[in-house]
Amino acid sequence: MSKIVVVGGGAAGLELVTRLGRSGLHSVVLVEPATHHLWKPRLHEIAAGTFDNELDSLSYAQHSACVGYRYVQAAMTGLDRQAKTIRLDRSVDGQQQMQYDYLVIAVGAVSNDFKTPGVSEHCLFLDSAAQAQQAWERVNTLLRSGQQQEVVIVGAGATGVELAAELAKVNRQLSRYQQATSLTVTLVEASDRVLPASPVCMSEKVQRELENQGVTVLTGVRVHEAEHGYLVTSEGARFKGDLMVWAAGIKCADWLAGLDGLATNRINQIQVDVTLQSVTDSDIFVLGDSAECPQPDGTFVPPRAQAANQAAAHLAHQFYRLAKGATLQPFVFRDGGMVVALGHSYAVGTLMQGKLILRGRFVRNLYDTIFRLHQRVLFGWGRVTALVVLKRVKYLLNPYYKGNI
Ligand SMILES: Cc1cc2nc3c(=O)[nH]c(=O)nc-3n(C[C@H](O)[C@H](O)[C@H](O)COP(=O)(O)OP(=O)(O)OC[C@H]3O[C@@H](n4cnc5c(N)ncnc54)[C@H](O)[C@@H]3O)c2cc1C
């Protein structure tokens, strides 16, 4: 029985250990510093205080015991490929080594501040549940101030757009409850349209909807510097921001660059071949946002939750094939489209490689379905159905907004 160590229990890593644990063919270890898993595409809802994490978070300790993998609460900090060991930083007993037969790195990505001066000091990021919680604490303070407050979000990719729409919804809710506070939400994007990686007609529809919801959208504006309470553009204009969130671009953590000689690209993603094996070491696999994985058409697998989930399902099957002595098959990402949520009852999505744009409440339900499909892999349909029903009941009995204004 070979020992597979999976580092990172996010969209990719957690689905992989679940599938491998259930198969019982390997000894499986998950290395993850957090105690609980939350679905990353919903971090903006945690930041806005509209996500019920009581029902939708997963305890790694409980889940590992039920599914059949070992969970080690630690962060990977180094690698020795010759000795086939990784170095861990554990809060309980400090440094530790762990041996592997196969290593899977799935540690995701973080926001890229492009070394813009002042951003790391003065802006918040939404890269982890802890950061989203920190953002929520700041938002909650603003909401209770009794004054008009300016929120500026830099970057109109999916994260920035979804956060802007969520905060605009909280703002409308506040006015319904006749609170004195109001939020002005401004979304700043350097390129000439929101969602620059999506088809133009999707960008247009999303921008129109954001503006209908009261968000000020500024495109073609490049932030040059962040100061305490202000963002400065490359033209020298200054935007006041009582809360400033940076959601522009991604990169992988710096410790991944040159990890015992593993080849990486300019944003620190580990370069893999079509079988998801590192181009430098075939016993090391990389999944999700941490990987630069080529596709048959010459593009690379995009850093999206859907791609992370598909890669995890593919790799679980490949480990099954390895156990049976078969060769590895290439991973080909099947793009099922992209959905961007604009509040709790509206979403815009693309299907058929951007040829079809859909919008409305049923697209928002589709967005939720992607999250429920992830939960189905982790828990099975029975528990997911129970969670959906419980959440509906709770929503009827309690206001959706955490601050209970
Ligand atoms: C606010 C937000 C909204 C998004 N919305 C969408 C969307 O609408 N649609 C979409 O497709 N994608 C969306 N994404 C992107 C999507 O979440 C990612 O593509 C996906 O989560 C990547 O999966 P992953 O497993 O590679 O990484 P992650 O899900 O980020 O998981 C990485 C895991 O690694 C752990 N880790 C980090 N460092 C270490 C270490 N040193 N040692 C051990 N473990 C470590 C982390 O704790 C985490 O659990 C969004 C992202 C954000 C932040």
Domains of the chain, each with CATH number or no CATH: 3-109+252-323 (3.50.50.60), 111-250+339-397 (3.50.50.100)
Higher pLDDT, 173 or 212: 212
Mutation test residue for ligand 1: of 7, 16, 40, the one with most atoms within 8 Å of CB: 40
User: Any alpha helices (H) in 333-405, and if so which ranges?
Assistant: 361-379, 381-397
Q: Measured from the CB, is residue 8 less than 6 Å from ligand 1? A: yes
CB count within 10 Å of CB 355 equals: 9
Cα separation, 56 vs 50, in Å, equals 12
Structure-token pair, residue 78: 């180094």
256 touches 107 (CB < 8 A): yes
Instruction: pLDDT band for 402, please (50, 70, 90 cuts).
Output: low
User: 140-165, pLDDT tens digit by residue?
Assistant: 898 888 888 999 999 999 999 999 99
| Ligand 1 atom, smallest distance to 107 CA | 34
Residue nearest to atom 50 of ligand 1 (CA): 41
Q: Measured from the CB, is residue 264 less than 6 Å from ligand 1? A: no
| pLDDT > 70 fraction of the chain, expressed in percent and rounded | 96
Q: Measure the CA angle with vertex 171, ends 166 and 172; round to 5°.
A: 100
Q: Measured from the CB, is residue 158 less than 6 Å from ligand 1? A: yes
Q: Is the pLDDT of residue 362 over 90?
A: no
CB count within 10 Å of CB 159 equals: 25
Cα separation, 290 vs 273, in Å, equals 13
Q: Measured from the CB, is residue 32 less than 6 Å from ligand 1? A: yes
Compute the distance from residue 215 Cα to the ligand 1 centre, in Å: 26
In sequence order, the 6+-apart residues with CB closer than 8 A to the CB of 104 are 4, 5, 6, 7, 13, 16, 284, 285, 286, 287, 315
User: 264-300, pLDDT tens digit by residue?
Assistant: 999 999 999 999 999 999 999 999 999 999 999 999 9
359 touches 212 (CB < 8 A): no
User: 295-345, pLDDT tens digit by residue?
Assistant: 999 999 999 999 999 999 999 999 999 988 899 999 999 988 889 999 878
